[in-house]
């Protein structure tokens, strides 16, 4: 059957009730790129038997690995964040909801995704998918995000797909509010990258089927890199003193459409000020690393949207 989706393909997601059990897409997401694949760990046999050649192969375990990059749309990104190492709380009333995600220390993801990809008319399905790393950044003045995904196995997707595409608007010029330290508004940042790496991995066990048994997380690192104007030595002095700051970055396209990042205790880990020419702006490249604040908070991500995620 030809699906006529063209080279650009299609990506759809759905939450799984049972991890590893494929569910047809309930949300279709426009993407910029994806690299999902089934990776096999086959064992090639070369026993000592007076032969220099490999004599056979044993089918090994396999898992799903890759990444998805999309424009940061509040009604799409939250599906991936829901399957990361974060606890989500939904507040608000129809049609305006607020989803607040705080990091946790759980070892095993609480929720998994089925991901369906159509590439030139061929449907691929991946199950038990979770997010090991999330990156939000600015590219050509548009906020994008990349999710590094790993999962358990592939599946036999539904041959019938009727995509319904979101109409949410990307975050670009005129949508930003930056506070460093919170609540002091600053206007000297022109780019940033916010990265959460939970050191995710698939786990293989001895069992009667191939594929990963479950997914787990390791120690987390969370950082923001930014390029800012260098106005005076005050901020640089804070870097030398290892002074923590609260940071808030909000992108808004409407009263109930936004993505917000809060870093509650960010430490300047790198502070680079390159030599500039006469009359040039002096710029600083800064990397902020998060640590827990006095109340045990690290960061949060807040989505305001009309999206209702199920379940």
Judge contact between 227 and 186, C-beta under 8 A: no
DSSP 155-169: E---S--------PP
Note the pLDDT tens digit of each residue in 164-219. Answer: 999 999 999 999 999 999 999 999 999 999 999 999 999 999 999 888 999 999 99
Q: What is the dihedral of CA 176, 181, 182, 186, to 10 degrees?
A: -30
Q: What percent of the chain has pLDDT over 70?
A: 96
DSSP 116-174: EEEETTEEEEEEEEEEEEEEEEEETTEEEEEEEEEESEEE---S--------PPPP-TT
Query: Residue 76 gets which letter from DSSP?
Result: H
Q: For the chain, what is the mean pLDDT?
A: 91
Top pLDDT among 8 and 220 is at 220
Q: What is the pTM of this model?
A: 0.91
Q: Mean of the pLDDT values across residues 50-77?
A: 92
Q: Would the pLDDT of 3 be above 50?
A: no
Predicted pLDDT of residue 246 = 97
CA distance 85 to 217: 8
Q: Which range, 38-42, 117-121, 125-129, has the best average confidence (pLDDT)? A: 125-129
Judge contact between 64 and 151, C-beta under 8 A: yes
Collapsed DSSP state (helix, strand, coil) of residue 118: strand
């Amino acid at each position: 059957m030809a699906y006529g989706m063209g080279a650009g393909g299609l990506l759809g997601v759905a939450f799984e009730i049972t991890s590893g059990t494929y569910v047809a897409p309930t949300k279709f997401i426009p993407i910029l790129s994806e690299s999902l694949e089934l990776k096999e760990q086959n064992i090639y046999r070369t026993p000592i038997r007076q032969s220099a050649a490999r004599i056979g192969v044993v089918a090994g375990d396999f898992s799903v690995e890759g990444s998805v990059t999309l424009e940061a749309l509040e009604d799409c990104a939250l599906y991936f964040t829901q399957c990361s190492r974060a606890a989500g709380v939904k507040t608000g009333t129809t049609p305006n909801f607020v989803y607040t995600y705080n990091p946790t220390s759980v070892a095993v993801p609480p929720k998994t995704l089925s991901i369906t990809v159509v590439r030139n008319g061929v449907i691929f399905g991946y199950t038990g998918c979770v997010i090991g790393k999330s990156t939000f950044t600015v590219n050509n003045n548009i906020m994008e995000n990349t999710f590094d995904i790993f999962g358990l196995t592939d599946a036999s997707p539904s041959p019938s797909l009727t995509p319904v595409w979101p109409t949410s608007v990307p975050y670009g010029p005129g949508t930003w509010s930056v506070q460093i330290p919170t609540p002091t508004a600053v206007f000297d940042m022109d780019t940033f990258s916010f990265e959460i790496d939970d050191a995710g991995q698939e786990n293989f066990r001895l069992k009667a089927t191939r594929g990963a048994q479950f997914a787990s997380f390791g120690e987390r690192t969370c950082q923001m890199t930014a390029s800012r104007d260098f106005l005076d030595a005050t901020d640089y002095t804070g870097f030398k003193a290892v002074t923590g700051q609260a940071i808030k970055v909000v992108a808004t396209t409407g009263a109930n459409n936004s993505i917000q990042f809060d870093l509650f205790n960010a430490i300047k880990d790198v502070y680079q000020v390159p030599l500039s020419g006469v009359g040039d702006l002096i710029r600083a490249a800064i990397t902020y690393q998060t640590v827990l604040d006095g109340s045990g908070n690290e960061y949060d991500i807040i989505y305001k949207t009309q999206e209702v995620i199920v379940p």
